[in-house]
Structure 1
Amino acid sequence: MRTLLTNRTFLRLLAGRLVTNAGDSIYYVAALWLVHDLAGSTVYTGIASFLVMAPGMLQFVVGPMVDDLEIRWVLVVTQAAQGLLVLTIPLAAWLGVLRVELVLVVIPLASLLNLVTYPAQSAALPRAVDRENLSTANAVFNTAHEGVNMAFNAVGGVLVGLAAVGAVGAFVVDAGTFALAILLFLGLTLPERAGGDGRAATADGGTDLGGAPDGDDGADESVRERVDRYTDDFRDGLAYLRGTAFVPVLAPQVFISFAMGMMLAILPAYAGLRGGSGLYGVLLSALAAGALIGSVASARLDWVPYGYWMLGGTALTGIAWVGAALSTWTPAIVAFFALAIVHSGGNKVLFDTLVQTVVPEAKLGRVTSSMSTINGVATPIGSLVGGAAAAVVGPVPVVLSVGAANFVGTAYFALSKSLRSLPAVADVEYGDDRIEEFSGGP
């Protein structure tokens, strides 16, 4: 940890992460509550939640882009574009033309830009720290991520609830975070990395365009050719995943992500049922607090066999969601929401470390983006289903269904001896056959 505190590149990357997290938290709270306020229907909040997450379906394009481009400028440009985009909401309100349709247009565009930010930061991390500090760096990143989310989800809820600010004013505050992030990322420098799979390292720390002929920097490559190349890289990522333990481990997570998407879509309505906009921010903060606890604990739990980590974690999460659905006492609801996300917060650290340890660096961007795409498709679709379902049965049964989904995940791991026998993350090494040549299943 002391080494990380003296690593200026890591600290600047971490500071940028904190600021972008703060802005994203405020944006998310303000956007979904504004849609809920303007439309008054879970169908619309389901659509809004879908649009926030739907760009994740294009993750297969982003991974190779991150491998190709110079990370500093990717971060600067995306932050600037997002800042300008979110300012259209307060501008429309000032002109008296703010409608829910405008918010539903801004949401996916901002999310599409943000789709580049976090993969770029993740791709930069293994270049900013040494291998022996990577697990700790991931834990710090995720701990800081959830800590900021916890604080600024509450801040977003407070801003939305203040008559002098409201959801529209929160977008102005959000734009300020993008400006600060730009200043931080402008000063970011990364060491050169070795290329692979036809990509040669460049002086700016990026890589030249894979697939371009020798002597051609790829500038004349058509859009169709680039899309085809990105698709090939996505397939390359999938090809690597086949036969590895990552596939059976991802399967229940995809199912649970679908259910989580349902819950996120109905959260404004659930909070309105139990307390209002203030409770909405508190519940989002509780989710972030639980993830923070999980992230902190994960640094000391990498010795736990990964299969049993998944088995126990999904069971605990299912119990928590059922408790949240059945409780009417606000402190208990908040506590159950926090408990429900502890395992997810810890698993993000452990799973990211597992992937970064086993997967070759030259394939890391496309493999992680392939997995994110698979997992990312489930959550937005779940939001659409959850919003529509809540309009018929109400938000509480939807929360109960999220708990049931986690119990299905528990059964999945309980019935598979090969999955339960997966090794602890601390015991895994580069190219570990127990992960890469996994032949077991449920």
Structure 2
Amino acid sequence: MARAAEAGGAAGVGACVRRGGFGRLRSAAAVSRFGDALRGTALPLLAHALTSDPLLIALVAAFGFAPWLLFGLLGGAIADRVDQRRAMWAVDVLRGLLMGGFALALAAGAARIGLLLALAFALTTLQTLFDNAATALLPAVVPRESLTSANARLMTGQEVAGRFVGGPVAPLLIGVGAALPFAVDAATYLIAAALVASLRTGSPPRPPAASGRTLRREIAEGIRALWGDRALRGLCLSVALANVGMGALIAELVVVVKDWLGAGDFGYVAVTTGYGAGTVLGGLLVGHVVAAVGGRFRTLLVVGLVQTAVLVVFGTVRALWPAALALALFGCAGTVWNVLETTLVQQRAPEAMLGRISSAFRTVSIAGTPAGALLGGAAAVAWGPNSPALVAAVLLGAGAVVLIPVVRGGEGTPSHSGKIPLPHS
């Protein structure tokens, strides 16, 4: 029965691809992720070149998460009010112009840590609207029963473009010129904007808004709706704990690889490419993993424990290739988690509240990530360059433990009365 449903979902996605809606959305996501991979590889290397202080490097990552705390809920409320397609392409145009300006500044020799902090903050501020709009738009493009397949295809396509193309190409572009990866990233934003603007599918229909409604009231409704769903509440708290650890790991990954493993730029790319290979594999195997484990929340618990174990290996085995293999398994488990998390939020949220519930979930789950980034920097200074990986392992393990009551209680049914479409994490 599950296999038949999955087959039907895959067929639904295929039909959407033939009509051009999902295909264009997936192409836009892949192009954008290619650019993100160039920037994601080049930015930490640039920060490491500008300063050897782990705390300053961590601060760049922290500034890249902080806007979710300030603007995440507002971005979700706006996403529920506007045409999501137009919001997405407009934001990408702005990000393309911003990144192009940064590339010019870098080429002119004006690169400073302060400029990196401003760039990270500005990009994520715009992302708070983009991500919530993208989450709310997907159910208008593919049928509800196709969401798991659609999310898996989106994430797999993004990782192929980012890890296997963007990641390895980044050092080559850096070798030509430090500004080149950022200039190409600017172009990918503009290409993605054009693809999204060409979508024929607009925002899903909504009931007319009641007079006198304010953004503050609508944001509060989204928070209450998230808290009222026991399963989503437990999942959100689990992700919040884990993301403190992920903040520590992401902020100091370049320090772990280069200063503890003793690997250079090639080693950094090898580790991140191994992670990307695992994420692609996870996208291909997610349906099989769920079928083998039984139950989506049970699967989340298992992959959370797997991620905890491989981070222990990553932080204790001082050799490049075992570290790359450990992060490959970490990425595989992570994609399974992300696909299930995204689909669960989407399927349990009323369509008219999609952006708000999605933004509430994101804001709570990301809230501790900036602090985690600073914690990773402090740990590296106090206990050595491998300690951020071990700190992350402890916190991911704690996040997995939070899911145990949800697994024991069963997934239940959504607590919302208007069961329509969905969000992402």
TM-score w.r.t. length of structure 1: 0.84
Pair 1:387-2:377 in alignment: yes
- SS of 1:341's partner is helix
- Distance change >3 Å, CA 394–CA 152, structure 1 → 2: farther
Pair 1:250-2:255 in alignment: no
| Equivalent residue for 2:201, pick from 182, 190, 211 | 190
1:46 alignment counterpart: 58
Given that 2:274 and 2:325 are in contact with CA atoms closer than 8 Å, whether structure 1 keeps it comes out as yes
Separation in structure 1 between the aligned mates of residue 107 and residue 205 of structure 2, nearest angstrom: 51
Separation in structure 2 between the aligned mates of residue 327 and residue 30 of structure 1, nearest angstrom: 26
| Equivalent residue for 1:100, pick from 100, 113, 124 | 113
Report the CA distance between 1:184 and its aligned residue.
1.2
Given that 2:85 and 2:202 are in contact with CA atoms closer than 8 Å, whether structure 1 keeps it comes out as no
Pair 1:295-2:283 in alignment: yes
User: Where do 5+ consecutive residues of structure 1 fail to align?
Assistant: 201-209, 214-224, 436-442
| Equivalent residue for 2:26, pick from 4, 14, 21 | 14
Report the CA distance between 1:110 and its aligned residue.
1.7
Report the CA distance between 1:25 and its aligned residue.
1.7
- Distance change >3 Å, CA 24–CA 366, structure 1 → 2: same
Separation in structure 2 between the aligned mates of residue 154 and residue 358 of structure 1, nearest angstrom: 35
Given that 1:154 and 1:282 are in contact with CA atoms closer than 8 Å, whether structure 2 keeps it comes out as no
Equivalent residues in 2 for 1:14-413, closer than 5 Å? 14-57=26-69, 58-155=71-168, 157-159=170-172, 162-166=174-178, 168-191=179-202, 193-196=204-207, 200=208, 210-212=209-211, 229-243=214-228, 244-273=230-259, 274=261, 275-303=263-291, 304-413=294-403
Given that 1:156 and 1:281 are in contact with CA atoms closer than 8 Å, whether structure 2 keeps it comes out as no
In the TM superposition, what whole-angstrom CA distance separates every residue of 1:274-301 from its partner, at most 9, and x where no partner exists? 2122222232222332222222222334
- Distance change >3 Å, CA 276–CA 83, structure 1 → 2: same
- Distance change >3 Å, CA 355–CA 412, structure 1 → 2: closer
Separation in structure 2 between the aligned mates of residue 194 and residue 89 of structure 1, nearest angstrom: 38
Separation in structure 2 between the aligned mates of residue 242 and residue 97 of structure 1, nearest angstrom: 46
In the TM superposition, what whole-angstrom CA distance separates every residue of 1:380-412 from its partner, at most 9, and x where no partner exists? 221122112212322201211212223333444
Separation in structure 1 between the aligned mates of residue 221 and residue 279 of structure 2, nearest angstrom: 32
In the TM superposition, what whole-angstrom CA distance separates every residue of 1:20-64 from its partner, at most 9, and x where no partner exists? 111112122222221111112211111000111112222111111
- Taking only aligned residues, the RMSD between alpha carbons, in angstroms, comes to 2.4
Given that 2:248 and 2:374 are in contact with CA atoms closer than 8 Å, whether structure 1 keeps it comes out as yes
Given that 2:170 and 2:181 are in contact with CA atoms closer than 8 Å, whether structure 1 keeps it comes out as no
Aligned length: 400
Given that 1:358 and 1:430 are in contact with CA atoms closer than 8 Å, whether structure 2 keeps it comes out as yes
In the TM superposition, what whole-angstrom CA distance separates every residue of 1:123-176 from its partner, at most 9, and x where no partner exists? 11100112222222122112222222322452354236x43233x221112112
Given that 1:157 and 1:280 are in contact with CA atoms closer than 8 Å, whether structure 2 keeps it comes out as no
1:422 alignment counterpart: 410
In the TM superposition, what whole-angstrom CA distance separates every residue of 1:349-402 from its partner, at most 9, and x where no partner exists? 112222222221111211111010001111122112211221232220121121
Given that 2:350 and 2:416 are in contact with CA atoms closer than 8 Å, whether structure 1 keeps it comes out as no
Report the CA distance between 1:240 and its aligned residue.
1.2
Separation in structure 1 between the aligned mates of residue 160 and residue 333 of structure 2, nearest angstrom: 15
- Which has the higher Rg, Structure 1 or Structure 2? 1
Given that 2:376 and 2:388 are in contact with CA atoms closer than 8 Å, whether structure 1 keeps it comes out as yes
- Distance change >3 Å, CA 134–CA 410, structure 1 → 2: closer
Separation in structure 1 between the aligned mates of residue 169 and residue 60 of structure 2, nearest angstrom: 17
Give the letter aligned to residue 408 of structure 1.
A
Separation in structure 2 between the aligned mates of residue 299 and residue 257 of structure 1, nearest angstrom: 24
Structure 1 or 2: larger helix share? Answer: 2
Give the letter aligned to residue 173 of structure 1.
V
Question: Matched residues, percent identical?
Answer: 23
Report the CA distance between 1:193 and its aligned residue.
2.7
- SS of 1:48's partner is helix
- SS of 1:40's partner is coil
Give the letter aligned to residue 189 of structure 1.
R
User: Where do 5+ consecutive residues of structure 2 fail to align?
Assistant: 1-9, 420-425
Give the letter aligned to residue 230 of structure 1.
L
In the TM superposition, what whole-angstrom CA distance separates every residue of 1:318-340 from its partner, at most 9, and x where no partner exists? 11001111122221110101112
Give the letter aligned to residue 252 of structure 1.
S
Report the CA distance between 1:432 and its aligned residue.
8.3
TM-score w.r.t. length of structure 2: 0.87
Given that 1:17 and 1:121 are in contact with CA atoms closer than 8 Å, whether structure 2 keeps it comes out as no
Question: Which range moves more in the overlay, 315-324 or 396-405?
Answer: 396-405
Give the letter aligned to residue 29 of structure 2.
R
Given that 2:39 and 2:185 are in contact with CA atoms closer than 8 Å, whether structure 1 keeps it comes out as yes
